[in-house]
Amino acid sequence: MGVALAASMGIFGQTKKPYQASAPSSVSYSVKDGEQNVEITNVAYELVGSAIPGRPLDERLVLRKTTKTRQVIDEIGMEASTTIEAWPLGVDLKQKPLYSFTAEGIDPATRNSEVIVLSRGLEEVEWWTVYKLGSGQRLFDTYAPLIDFSISRDTVTTRYVGLEVPEDDAKDARLRAANVVGVVTYASAAKVIREALITCDDPKKAALLRSFADASRTLTYSGGALRLAISQNYPSAPATVTIAVPVAKDDLDLAKAVLPAGVRVAAFKR
Protein backbone atom coordinates (compact mmCIF):
# COMPACT_ATOMS: atom_id res chain seq x y z
CA MET A 1 0.00 0.00 0.00
CA GLY A 2 3.04 2.25 0.02
CA VAL A 3 3.15 5.32 -2.17
CA ALA A 4 6.35 6.53 -3.83
CA LEU A 5 6.39 10.31 -4.03
CA ALA A 6 8.90 12.32 -6.04
CA ALA A 7 8.94 16.13 -5.97
CA SER A 8 10.87 18.19 -8.44
CA MET A 9 13.17 20.79 -6.94
CA GLY A 10 13.67 22.60 -10.23
CA ILE A 11 12.53 26.15 -10.88
CA PHE A 12 9.96 26.44 -13.65
CA GLY A 13 10.47 29.42 -15.93
CA GLN A 14 7.80 32.10 -16.04
CA THR A 15 7.83 32.28 -19.86
CA LYS A 16 5.07 30.09 -21.24
CA LYS A 17 5.66 28.53 -24.64
CA PRO A 18 3.37 26.48 -26.86
CA TYR A 19 3.87 22.72 -26.77
CA GLN A 20 2.15 19.47 -27.66
CA ALA A 21 2.23 16.26 -25.63
CA SER A 22 0.79 12.81 -26.17
CA ALA A 23 1.08 9.37 -24.60
CA PRO A 24 -0.14 6.02 -25.94
CA SER A 25 -2.99 3.97 -24.52
CA SER A 26 -3.02 0.26 -25.28
CA VAL A 27 -4.79 -3.04 -24.75
CA SER A 28 -3.26 -6.52 -24.88
CA TYR A 29 -5.09 -9.88 -24.84
CA SER A 30 -3.40 -13.24 -24.38
CA VAL A 31 -4.21 -16.83 -23.40
CA LYS A 32 -1.81 -18.87 -21.28
CA ASP A 33 -2.48 -22.26 -19.64
CA GLY A 34 -6.18 -21.78 -20.36
CA GLU A 35 -6.30 -18.35 -18.68
CA GLN A 36 -7.42 -15.25 -20.57
CA ASN A 37 -5.33 -12.22 -19.65
CA VAL A 38 -6.12 -8.60 -20.49
CA GLU A 39 -3.63 -5.80 -19.92
CA ILE A 40 -4.73 -2.20 -20.47
CA THR A 41 -2.84 1.08 -20.24
CA ASN A 42 -4.94 4.25 -20.24
CA VAL A 43 -3.48 7.74 -20.28
CA ALA A 44 -5.57 10.85 -19.61
CA TYR A 45 -4.70 14.53 -19.29
CA GLU A 46 -6.56 16.98 -17.09
CA LEU A 47 -6.36 20.75 -16.53
CA VAL A 48 -7.11 21.80 -12.94
CA GLY A 49 -7.10 25.01 -10.89
CA SER A 50 -6.75 27.78 -10.13
CA ALA A 51 -6.61 28.56 -6.38
CA ILE A 52 -5.04 25.16 -5.67
CA PRO A 53 -4.02 24.98 -1.98
CA GLY A 54 -0.26 25.35 -1.61
CA ARG A 55 0.23 26.77 -5.11
CA PRO A 56 0.22 30.35 -6.49
CA LEU A 57 -3.34 31.70 -6.61
CA ASP A 58 -3.59 32.01 -10.40
CA GLU A 59 -1.65 28.84 -11.26
CA ARG A 60 -3.27 25.93 -13.06
CA LEU A 61 -1.85 22.43 -13.28
CA VAL A 62 -1.80 19.91 -16.09
CA LEU A 63 -2.09 16.34 -14.82
CA ARG A 64 -1.08 13.22 -16.69
CA LYS A 65 -2.84 10.18 -15.24
CA THR A 66 -1.52 6.80 -16.36
CA THR A 67 -3.38 3.69 -15.21
CA LYS A 68 -2.14 0.17 -15.94
CA THR A 69 -4.32 -2.86 -15.23
CA ARG A 70 -3.89 -6.61 -15.62
CA GLN A 71 -6.89 -8.88 -15.19
CA VAL A 72 -7.46 -12.60 -15.51
CA ILE A 73 -10.95 -13.17 -16.90
CA ASP A 74 -13.42 -14.77 -14.43
CA GLU A 75 -11.11 -14.18 -11.44
CA ILE A 76 -11.94 -11.74 -8.64
CA GLY A 77 -9.87 -8.57 -8.54
CA MET A 78 -7.07 -7.27 -10.71
CA GLU A 79 -3.56 -5.89 -10.59
CA ALA A 80 -3.51 -2.13 -11.15
CA SER A 81 -1.35 0.91 -10.59
CA THR A 82 -1.80 4.59 -11.34
CA THR A 83 0.87 7.24 -11.83
CA ILE A 84 -0.01 10.91 -11.41
CA GLU A 85 2.33 13.58 -12.80
CA ALA A 86 1.74 17.33 -12.52
CA TRP A 87 3.14 20.36 -14.33
CA PRO A 88 2.21 24.06 -14.08
CA LEU A 89 0.26 25.12 -17.16
CA GLY A 90 2.67 26.46 -19.76
CA VAL A 91 5.57 24.20 -18.80
CA ASP A 92 6.57 21.68 -21.46
CA LEU A 93 5.74 18.18 -20.27
CA LYS A 94 9.19 17.07 -21.37
CA GLN A 95 10.50 18.83 -18.27
CA LYS A 96 10.60 17.12 -14.89
CA PRO A 97 7.14 17.28 -13.29
CA LEU A 98 6.36 19.37 -10.25
CA TYR A 99 5.62 16.05 -8.56
CA SER A 100 4.75 12.48 -9.41
CA PHE A 101 3.52 9.51 -7.41
CA THR A 102 2.54 5.94 -8.15
CA ALA A 103 0.09 3.83 -6.12
CA GLU A 104 -1.94 0.66 -6.51
CA GLY A 105 -5.38 1.74 -7.66
CA ILE A 106 -7.58 3.03 -10.48
CA ASP A 107 -10.00 5.85 -11.38
CA PRO A 108 -8.01 8.91 -10.21
CA ALA A 109 -10.34 11.89 -9.86
CA THR A 110 -9.79 15.48 -8.75
CA ARG A 111 -12.26 17.19 -6.46
CA ASN A 112 -12.83 20.91 -5.97
CA SER A 113 -9.39 21.69 -7.48
CA GLU A 114 -8.03 20.69 -4.07
CA VAL A 115 -7.51 16.93 -3.80
CA ILE A 116 -7.05 13.79 -5.87
CA VAL A 117 -9.04 10.69 -4.93
CA LEU A 118 -7.73 7.28 -6.02
CA SER A 119 -9.79 4.10 -5.82
CA ARG A 120 -7.65 1.46 -4.08
CA GLY A 121 -10.15 -1.38 -3.78
CA LEU A 122 -8.95 -3.82 -6.42
CA GLU A 123 -10.57 -6.91 -4.93
CA GLU A 124 -13.66 -7.26 -2.72
CA VAL A 125 -13.18 -4.30 -0.35
CA GLU A 126 -13.77 -0.76 -1.58
CA TRP A 127 -11.44 1.93 -0.24
CA TRP A 128 -9.83 5.16 -1.40
CA THR A 129 -6.78 7.33 -0.74
CA VAL A 130 -6.97 11.13 -0.76
CA TYR A 131 -3.94 13.14 -1.93
CA LYS A 132 -3.14 16.85 -1.94
CA LEU A 133 -3.55 18.22 -5.45
CA GLY A 134 -0.89 20.88 -4.93
CA SER A 135 1.91 18.52 -3.87
CA GLY A 136 0.79 14.91 -4.42
CA GLN A 137 1.25 14.11 -0.74
CA ARG A 138 -1.08 11.58 0.86
CA LEU A 139 -3.75 12.98 3.19
CA PHE A 140 -5.66 9.93 4.44
CA ASP A 141 -7.40 6.66 3.55
CA THR A 142 -11.13 6.04 3.71
CA TYR A 143 -13.24 2.87 3.57
CA ALA A 144 -16.47 4.84 3.10
CA PRO A 145 -17.07 7.10 0.10
CA LEU A 146 -15.35 10.44 0.73
CA ILE A 147 -17.65 13.34 1.55
CA ASP A 148 -16.95 17.07 1.45
CA PHE A 149 -18.87 20.12 2.64
CA SER A 150 -18.36 23.79 3.47
CA ILE A 151 -18.29 24.81 7.12
CA SER A 152 -19.12 28.44 6.24
CA ARG A 153 -22.25 29.96 4.74
CA ASP A 154 -20.43 33.13 3.72
CA THR A 155 -17.44 31.64 1.94
CA VAL A 156 -16.56 28.23 0.54
CA THR A 157 -14.45 26.57 3.22
CA THR A 158 -14.35 22.93 2.19
CA ARG A 159 -13.64 20.08 4.57
CA TYR A 160 -13.22 16.38 3.78
CA VAL A 161 -14.27 13.40 5.89
CA GLY A 162 -13.42 9.72 5.58
CA LEU A 163 -13.50 6.58 7.69
CA GLU A 164 -10.60 4.19 8.12
CA VAL A 165 -11.58 0.64 9.05
CA PRO A 166 -8.42 -1.10 10.27
CA GLU A 167 -7.49 -4.47 8.87
CA ASP A 168 -6.55 -7.31 11.21
CA ASP A 169 -2.86 -6.74 10.50
CA ALA A 170 -2.89 -2.94 10.96
CA LYS A 171 0.61 -1.60 11.60
CA ASP A 172 -0.59 0.54 14.52
CA ALA A 173 -1.07 -1.89 17.43
CA ARG A 174 -3.77 0.34 18.91
CA LEU A 175 -5.94 -0.31 15.87
CA ARG A 176 -5.68 -4.08 16.34
CA ALA A 177 -7.52 -3.91 19.66
CA ALA A 178 -10.67 -6.07 19.76
CA ASN A 179 -12.94 -3.11 20.64
CA VAL A 180 -11.93 -0.88 17.70
CA VAL A 181 -14.59 0.01 15.10
CA GLY A 182 -12.78 2.64 13.00
CA VAL A 183 -11.18 6.05 12.79
CA VAL A 184 -13.00 9.12 11.41
CA THR A 185 -10.76 11.66 9.67
CA TYR A 186 -11.71 15.35 9.39
CA ALA A 187 -9.40 17.31 7.11
CA SER A 188 -8.88 20.38 4.98
CA ALA A 189 -7.18 20.12 1.61
CA ALA A 190 -3.91 21.00 3.35
CA LYS A 191 -3.88 18.83 6.47
CA VAL A 192 -5.66 16.39 8.74
CA ILE A 193 -7.37 18.50 11.40
CA ARG A 194 -8.79 15.79 13.66
CA GLU A 195 -8.96 12.02 13.90
CA ALA A 196 -11.47 10.29 16.17
CA LEU A 197 -11.28 6.66 17.29
CA ILE A 198 -14.61 4.81 17.51
CA THR A 199 -14.76 1.82 19.87
CA CYS A 200 -17.44 -0.52 21.19
CA ASP A 201 -17.49 -2.00 24.68
CA ASP A 202 -18.66 -5.35 23.29
CA PRO A 203 -15.77 -6.88 21.27
CA LYS A 204 -18.12 -9.16 19.31
CA LYS A 205 -20.26 -6.21 18.24
CA ALA A 206 -17.12 -4.21 17.43
CA ALA A 207 -15.95 -7.04 15.15
CA LEU A 208 -19.33 -7.01 13.38
CA LEU A 209 -19.30 -3.23 12.95
CA ARG A 210 -15.84 -3.22 11.38
CA SER A 211 -16.43 -6.31 9.25
CA PHE A 212 -15.79 -5.75 5.54
CA ALA A 213 -17.94 -8.73 4.52
CA ASP A 214 -20.92 -8.19 6.82
CA ALA A 215 -21.34 -4.41 7.12
CA SER A 216 -21.63 -1.29 4.93
CA ARG A 217 -20.81 2.29 5.93
CA THR A 218 -22.01 5.72 4.82
CA LEU A 219 -20.99 9.21 5.87
CA THR A 220 -23.26 12.26 5.60
CA TYR A 221 -23.22 15.85 6.80
CA SER A 222 -26.27 17.93 7.60
CA GLY A 223 -27.43 20.42 10.20
CA GLY A 224 -23.90 21.07 11.40
CA ALA A 225 -23.24 17.43 12.29
CA LEU A 226 -21.36 14.55 10.75
CA ARG A 227 -23.20 11.22 10.74
CA LEU A 228 -21.75 7.75 10.31
CA ALA A 229 -24.24 4.95 9.63
CA ILE A 230 -23.12 1.30 9.80
CA SER A 231 -25.63 -1.28 8.53
CA GLN A 232 -25.48 -5.05 8.33
CA ASN A 233 -25.55 -6.53 4.84
CA TYR A 234 -28.26 -8.78 3.39
CA PRO A 235 -29.54 -11.32 4.34
CA SER A 236 -29.16 -9.93 7.88
CA ALA A 237 -31.51 -7.17 9.02
CA PRO A 238 -29.85 -3.73 8.61
CA ALA A 239 -29.77 -3.05 12.38
CA THR A 240 -28.23 0.33 11.51
CA VAL A 241 -25.95 1.95 14.10
CA THR A 242 -25.72 5.73 13.75
CA ILE A 243 -23.07 7.97 15.28
CA ALA A 244 -23.52 11.78 15.12
CA VAL A 245 -20.67 14.20 15.82
CA PRO A 246 -21.21 17.98 15.66
CA VAL A 247 -18.72 20.12 13.73
CA ALA A 248 -17.90 23.31 15.63
CA LYS A 249 -15.11 25.85 15.30
CA ASP A 250 -13.61 23.86 12.45
CA ASP A 251 -13.23 20.72 14.55
CA LEU A 252 -15.14 17.64 15.62
CA ASP A 253 -16.97 18.35 18.88
CA LEU A 254 -16.46 14.91 20.37
CA ALA A 255 -17.82 15.90 23.77
CA LYS A 256 -21.28 16.44 22.23
CA ALA A 257 -21.33 13.31 20.07
CA VAL A 258 -24.59 11.35 20.08
CA LEU A 259 -23.71 7.68 20.45
CA PRO A 260 -25.53 4.34 20.72
CA ALA A 261 -25.19 2.49 24.01
CA GLY A 262 -21.76 0.96 24.44
CA VAL A 263 -20.16 2.95 21.61
CA ARG A 264 -17.48 5.53 22.41
CA VAL A 265 -15.52 8.13 20.47
CA ALA A 266 -12.24 9.79 21.47
CA ALA A 267 -9.52 11.93 19.93
CA PHE A 268 -6.81 9.89 18.21
CA LYS A 269 -3.29 10.84 17.17
CA ARG A 270 -0.89 8.92 14.95
Q: Name residue 33's beta-bridge partners.
A: none
The three-state DSSP-derived secondary structure of 44-96 is EEEEEECCCCCCCCCCEEEEEEEEEEEEECCCCCCEEEEEEEEEECCCCCCCC
Q: What are the extents of the domains in the chain?
A: 22-107, 137-270
Q: What residues have CB less than 8 Å from 2, skipping those under 6 apart?
A: none
Burial 21-51 (b: 16+ CB within 10 A, else e): eeeeeeeeeeeeeeeeeeebeeeeeeebbee
Per-residue confidence in pLDDT tens, the chain, 270 aa: 444 444 443 444 456 778 888 888 999 999 988 899 999 999 999 999 889 999 999 999 999 999 999 999 988 878 999 999 999 999 999 999 999 999 999 999 999 999 999 999 877 789 999 999 999 999 999 999 999 999 988 888 999 999 999 988 899 999 999 999 999 999 999 999 999 999 999 999 999 999 999 999 999 999 999 999 999 999 999 999 999 999 999 999 999 999 999 999 999 999
Within 10 angstroms of residue 125's Cβ, the number of other Cβ atoms is: 13
| DSSP three-state, residue 241 | strand
Q: What is the pLDDT of residue 2?
A: 42
CA angle 102, 75, 1 (to 5 degrees): 25
Alpha-carbon distance of 206 to 177, in angstroms, equals: 10
Q: What is the pLDDT of residue 3?
A: 41
Q: What is the pLDDT of residue 15?
A: 63
Q: What is the pLDDT of residue 74?
A: 85
Within 10 angstroms of residue 141's Cβ, the number of other Cβ atoms is: 17
Number of separate helices (H) and strands (E) present in the chain: 1, 18
Q: What is the pLDDT of residue 23?
A: 84
Q: What is the pLDDT of residue 1?
A: 40
